[in-house]
Structure 1
Amino acid sequence: MNITAVIADDEPALAEDLRRRLARLWPELQVTGLAHDGEAALAAIRESSPAVVFLDIRMPGLTGLEVAGELPGTCHLVFVTAYDQYAVEAFERAAADYLLKPVKDDRLAETVRRLRRRMDGGEAPGEMTALLERVEALTRPAAPLQWIRASVGESVELVPVDEVRYFTADAKYTSVVTADREYLIRKPIKALEAELDGQRFWRIHRGTIVNAAAVASVSRNFRGRYVIRLKGDGATLTVSRSYAERFRQM
């Protein structure tokens, strides 16, 4: 009998890679949906009622924890996370199944064995509410974001936030602009702002966050709007009236 699963990860290349590896390790597992944001994940789960859900913690829209809170009691849940070792220890203490990115073959094989053993034995999924409360409390970020994970082809690059000149919103995506190149990540700018150091990264527009260290000067244009000139190439960014107060005090 085929067992169904949904994979939710905001990096399409990583979701597809996990699907391929699961197909080798667990041929009976039928992946009925790949989702790349929280809303799509929830829709796929409601549509196919999978037995297993592989769920990224950080996704645009609904977070993985918010999606998990909506799962039916028949779903076996495996968190997929890029958190550091301290957070991994938190997952262990919360007795949560998890895969740490980049997912290692031996860890994935062990997770598959554990899931198959539970399902073959008719073991029901664990109680979700208390588990999610523990995981959320233990994995809450304690420090500002230091790295940006950006997909480039089939690989993922880690971009230090110190190298980012500014971020701009692009629908459900965010453009990450450094001195050398531009990346596109699957994270809304609002969610990204919550993870950045507000003393170093300034919101200057509903769709723009600038790195204060990249600012060369601030002036007013003929319309009285503040204009930021960046170091290096002298590129300019206009400050919206809603975010002008910071610059009036300079």
Structure 2
Amino acid sequence: MDTISMWEFVALAAAAALVGFSKTAVSGANTVSLAVFAAVLPARESTGVLLPILIVGDTIAVLTYRRHAHWPTLWRLFPAVTGGVVAGTVFMLWADDGAVRVSIGSILLLMAGVTIWRRRHTPQEVTPEETASLKGRVKARSYGVLGGFTTMVANAGGPVMSLYLLSAGFRKLGFLGTSAWFFLIVNTSKVPFSVGLGLIDRDSLLLDALLVLFVLPGALIGKLCVDRIDQRVFERLVIGATVLGGLQLLLR
């Protein structure tokens, strides 16, 4: 806290507000928040500060969109995500800041490219129920492992899961409701791992106590904006935020 300047705190506060906005409007936009936190704080430690803020945003999103979740999709994802979280924990035992940034940035750009290609070469009329097929289960497991790994390593699972839900044909409310429950459960389960790695401690929680005050205004703005965002624009914003976050991590 003593080493953070006023302007750095302003940047962190704006990033915390963007977390709230992303949870209720454009999921994946909080990759910008991730980049801001990693720029102001050491990249590795920034993940521990950001996690409780994300959980607050997840809680608000669940309270807002809880009725729109598609639970069969969630149950298909959770086993693979667990494996990804364990792999991410092992990775964090030896990875330095540079390895974390390059790994996550590369994965985000790869996933964005795959999603854009799929949307240009496959039918757009896909329903969540179709993900129950063998091909759908394989895709769910692949995205689940990547989502678990990226969310554990850098709290960057949002873009990966956003791309999966878009590819599965989810509309705005189903998208937001399913992702809200997913990240509340996953992020909460990550807390013991982050504490064990020393990423969450007394100092990080003191900073969190100040920054969470900015999450609610961002979430309210997102709620007001979401109904005014066209579905096609919504999808482009999600993919654009993913690409931006990936580039920020690679170029920093």
What TM-score do you get using the length of structure 2 for normalisation?
A: 0.27
Whichever of the two has the greater Rg, that structure is 1
Larger RCO (CA within 8 A; separation ≥ 6): 2
- If each structure's strand is expressed as a fraction of its own residues, which one has the higher value? 1
Task: Using structure 1 for the length normalisation, give the TM-score.
Answer: 0.27
